[in-house]
Amino acid sequence: MSLAHSDAPEAPTTAPARAGTPATGVSDGPAAPGPGVPHVVGRVDDVPPGEGRAFVAGGVQVAVFRLRDGSLHATQAACPHAGGPLADGQTDADVLVCPLHLFAYRWSDGVSTSGAAPVRRYPVHEDAGRLVVTV
């Protein structure tokens, strides 16, 4: 699949986001990140390898991705370009591609490689099979 930008729109297929719960006692994990409050949003197995899913973490809509190498990434749920459902985007090891207009965003820093505003990223980690997003 090409990850190049195109103006060909596609229909969104995002499932409804699920509410997360505060992750009490989870804040000291090795992948736990800087400022913010960690929230358990589900199980890591809720996100199939190579795909993304939409969740709500502390009232914030997020898209969580589990790459095929097992790494986890979380971004804002709505694409910075025009609000597309990023959880339905295509991914590889380097970028996330929005399903609506195919703008791409680097995992490393959230910068768009195709000219859109950067995507906001959130720290995410696994804790005993639980999916924890810090917002």
Residue closest to 135 by CA, chosen among 64, 80, 86, 46: 64
Residue count of the chain: 135
Residue entry with tokens 């795909």:
51
According to the binding rule CB under 6 A, does residue 57 interact with ligand FES? Answer: no
Residue 48: CB minimum distance to ligand FES, A: 21
Pairing of strands 18-19, 51-57: parallel
Q: Which two tokens stand for residue 106?
A: 């680097």
Q: Please say which residue, 41 or 100, places its beta carbon nearer to ligand FES.
A: 100
Choices 24-32, 61-69, 95-103, 126-134 (CB under 6 A): range interacting with ligand FES: 95-103
Nearer Cβ to ligand FES, position 58 or 105? Answer: 105
- CA-based max dimension of the chain: 45
| Shortest distance, position 15 Cβ to ligand FES, whole Å | 18
Residue 100 binds ligand FES (CB under 6 A):
yes
Contact pick of 55, 103, 105, 122 for ligand FES (by CB under 6 A):
103
Chain-centroid distance of CA 124 in Å reads 9
User: Would you state the structure tokens that stand for residue 36, as one six-digit string?
Assistant: 């913010």
Rounded Cα distance, 27 and 48, in Å: 24
Of 11 and 128, CB closest to ligand FES: 11
Binding site for ligand FES (CB under 6 A): 79, 81-84, 98, 100-101, 103
